[in-house]
């Protein structure tokens, strides 16, 4: 009887285990399919919002640039101790003119992103304590903190005593 109960208990546990991988989704689902509906020089910003929703990131220069992201992660194999592995990473960059019309669209998938080279060099700051910018900013800070020069006068009086 107890063996039958153990078999039933382990069978119950095993049937509740899922053999499908867990997928974490972030961003706009089916971005690659949906971006094909957008037509350059014809689609408006309202059409874009209707198809894709609000952008993940927005920037404003001469024209608006809207960025949409789709990312899917799943757990890797047991040998990697179940770390999350990215298996889909798509980015869509849309440029919209001042009238709200789509001017340019660029779609990047994982293969395109692997081709992009990132520069490893860094820019060194040439900001020194004796530079013009430092002197200017410290005088501005002093004027903001003490616009009438009251603190300086008090210090001189205390030091003369």
Which residues constitute the domain of residue 84? 20-116
For 132, residues 6+ apart whose C-beta sits below 8 A from its C-beta are none
Cα 126 from Cα 134, distance rounded (Å): 11
* Domain membership flag for residue 91: yes
Phi and psi at residue 12, to the nearest 5°? -65, -45
* Domain membership flag for residue 129: no
* Domain membership flag for residue 95: yes
Domain count, the chain: 1
Give the CATH number, domain containing residue 31. 3.30.1450
DSSP 3-state of 127: coil
Q: Quick one: how far is CA 124 from the chain centroid?
A: 25
Global pTM? 0.60
Cα 28 from Cα 51, distance rounded (Å): 10
Predicted confidence pLDDT, tens digits, the chain (161 residues)? 778 777 877 776 666 666 667 788 888 999 989 999 999 999 999 999 999 999 888 887 666 899 999 988 887 666 556 677 888 889 999 999 889 899 999 999 888 877 777 777 777 766 555 677 777 777 777 777 776 666 666 666 666 66
């Amino acid at each position: 009887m107890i063996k039958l109960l153990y078999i039933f208990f382990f069978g119950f546990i095993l049937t509740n285990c899922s053999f499908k991988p867990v997928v974490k989704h972030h961003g706009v689902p089916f971005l690659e399919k949906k971006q094909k509906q957008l037509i350059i020089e014809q689609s408006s910003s309202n059409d874009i919002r209707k198809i894709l929703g609000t952008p993940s990131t927005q920037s404003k220069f001469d024209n608006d640039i809207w960025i949409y992201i789709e990312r899917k992660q799943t757990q890797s194999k047991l040998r990697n101790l179940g770390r999350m592995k990215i298996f889909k990473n798509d980015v869509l960059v849309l440029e919209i003119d001042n009238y709200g019309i789509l001017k340019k669209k660029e779609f990047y998938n994982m293969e395109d992103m692997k081709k992009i080279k990132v520069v490893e060099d860094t820019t060194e700051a040439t900001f020194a304590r004796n530079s013009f910018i430092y002197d200017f900013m410290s005088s501005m800070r002093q004027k903001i903190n003490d616009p009438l020069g009251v603190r300086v006068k008090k210090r001189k009086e205390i030091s003369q005593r």
